Structure 1
Amino acid sequence: MTRKRIQIKKIDNISSRQVTFSKRRKGLFKKAQELSTLCDADIALIVFSATNKLFEYASSSIQKVIERRSQCSGIHRLEHLPIEQFMQFESDSNDTPRKKVEEKTHELRQLNGEDLQGLTLHQLQKLEEVLKRSLASVSRVKDEKIYARNQHP
């Protein structure tokens, strides 16, 4: 006997939805662990439930996987940048994790020179200052590496 194919849509019954979430989350985490073991893949999996509970799996360290992802996409760690100085978002305790991720994604796009049309002149000037400091930092590290390489041929 084969399983019945279900239609993929939001489950209306709250308790059924929670049971399905729990079972499928366990299956997803199991598949992630299997993929990591079988293929020696570095995996990080982050899931927020509808009730904002955090569930996570990492084959090594979530932070290391996120850093690796950032390096591959050309977006380097930006925690040290004073993004809050040029972005005047009020921190709302009712913000959902999804909304926060969307806001941070929007901020990263702006740091990459995209989605700038909604910024004021003052915000654009602050963004420019942040980018100049970042460029100076990158140039300094690059120069240090060039200097070190020339000192030790």
Structure 2
Amino acid sequence: MVRGKTVIKPIEDKTSQQVTFSKRRSGLFKKARELAVLCDAQVGVLVFSSAGRLYDYSSTSTRSIVERYQDTKEGSQLMSASTESKFWQAEAANLRQQLHNLQESHMQLLGQNLSGLEAKELKILENHLEMSLHNIRKKKDSVIINQIQELNKRENIMLQEYKELEHHFDINHQENMNLQKKVHVQQGVDGGDKSSGTEYNIAGPDEDLTSVRLELGQPQHVAKEQLEEPTLRRL
């Protein structure tokens, strides 16, 4: 089972604080002793408790380690300006040489400045170029595959949207056809009611208006007899 990460924060309880201090101090001294034995190093550890009590460990002598530390510290601080200047000049020269080597290597990778190279060096350069070309092609294939997969996903989404639109269109078309049928049926019913009969007023010269109702669908001679019958009766 993996142990959880211990949160480092001050311990408020004095008893727990003292127990932890004792355990960690012993562990620190143990690690210092192992480092001194394994690596043949001079190790010194100084620890003051919260109460001001001193605990120390040294692989040789605490005093000698402290004196050596002071001498080294003072020596580094007393470095002359000329020595520091020479150090930075050497660093600058080293960086210029590295830059020159990188530029030359770059030109060789472009196929230039190859006159001073031997067959072995040219073979190494060829292997580097082949490896670079292989990595470039591998990366290109990966990019193309990812693009194709993305396009396929978009195609599937668009196809699904098209099917949904087509389904909605069929529903709307069917509803439109049903609505047109209802309109035609309603128009036929209304036309039949309106064409059942129509009244006309027919009046001869010097005669009163006579109301005559003509029924649609009757023969023409019947309508003619109905029109002539009032005139004959008056004669």
* TM-score using structure 1 length: 0.47
The structure that has the greater radius of gyration is 2
The structure with the largest helix share of the pair is 2
* TM-score using structure 2 length: 0.31
